[in-house]
Amino acid sequence: MFSLKKLSPTITDMIRFDHSHVLVSFHQYTADAKPKVKKALAETIASALEIHATLEEELFYPAVRNIDSGEPVLLKSVPEHNEMRRLIGELRATAPTDVRHDQLVQQLMRDVIHHVADEETVLLPQAERLLSKDRLSELGADMTRRRIELAGPKAGKLALDTAVGFSGSTAAWTLGIVGALAAATLLSRKAKPA
């Protein structure tokens, strides 16, 4: 039987994609950018990180905890997310014209690079060694579903960016999710009063 779950990209590839995507946004942030651009980039980075952290905490970390609950990288992951959330709160409360805004973005970038390096060199390979490909794809499908819920009104664009980032072997899955999102967007437009 046709199964969207088995065609979904794996949760580990989706996590890698999110990491690359947020690093691109960090690279676009330059000290000489206009304040409006700085604030927009900071918000793109902040919301991407918040959604990513929640998805990992709800779906990926519990799966890793099941196979190795004592892994030191896993144990420090949630405290690191919480520190990141604290920095994001401070960043949102800081004017983009304040030099502190640049410093906070840089500090956040440094923390995120360290955290991502730990995930990509320890947790993701470990999950890929110990969980089946089907299970990883199933978790990937769960992650997409939850991402759409968390992103709310931004769901279409965010999920589309993520889905379109995958190519080749996952083309069928990508077309499926893009089609579903297009339908959902049309429905929500229709539902709005004129």
Contacts with Fe ion, residue ranges (CB under 5 A): 56, 119
Q: Smallest gap, in angstroms, from Cβ of residue 194 to Fe ion?
A: 42
Q: Nearer Cβ to Fe ion, position 102 or 120?
A: 120
- Residue 134: CB atoms within 10 A of its CB come to 12
- Residue 174: CB atoms within 10 A of its CB come to 21
Q: Smallest gap, in angstroms, from Cβ of residue 180 to Fe ion?
A: 25
Q: Smallest gap, in angstroms, from Cβ of residue 74 to Fe ion?
A: 10
Q: Smallest gap, in angstroms, from Cβ of residue 47 to Fe ion?
A: 15
Rounded to whole angstroms, how far apart are CA atoms 85 and 57? 13
Rounded to whole angstroms, how far apart are CA atoms 187 and 134? 31
Q: Nearer Cβ to Fe ion, position 60 or 173?
A: 60
Q: Nearer Cβ to Fe ion, position 56 or 142?
A: 56
Rounded to whole angstroms, how far apart are CA atoms 29 and 40? 10
Rounded to whole angstroms, how far apart are CA atoms 75 and 122? 12
Helix (H) or strand (E) holding 128: helix 124-130
Q: Nearer Cβ to Fe ion, position 39 or 142?
A: 142
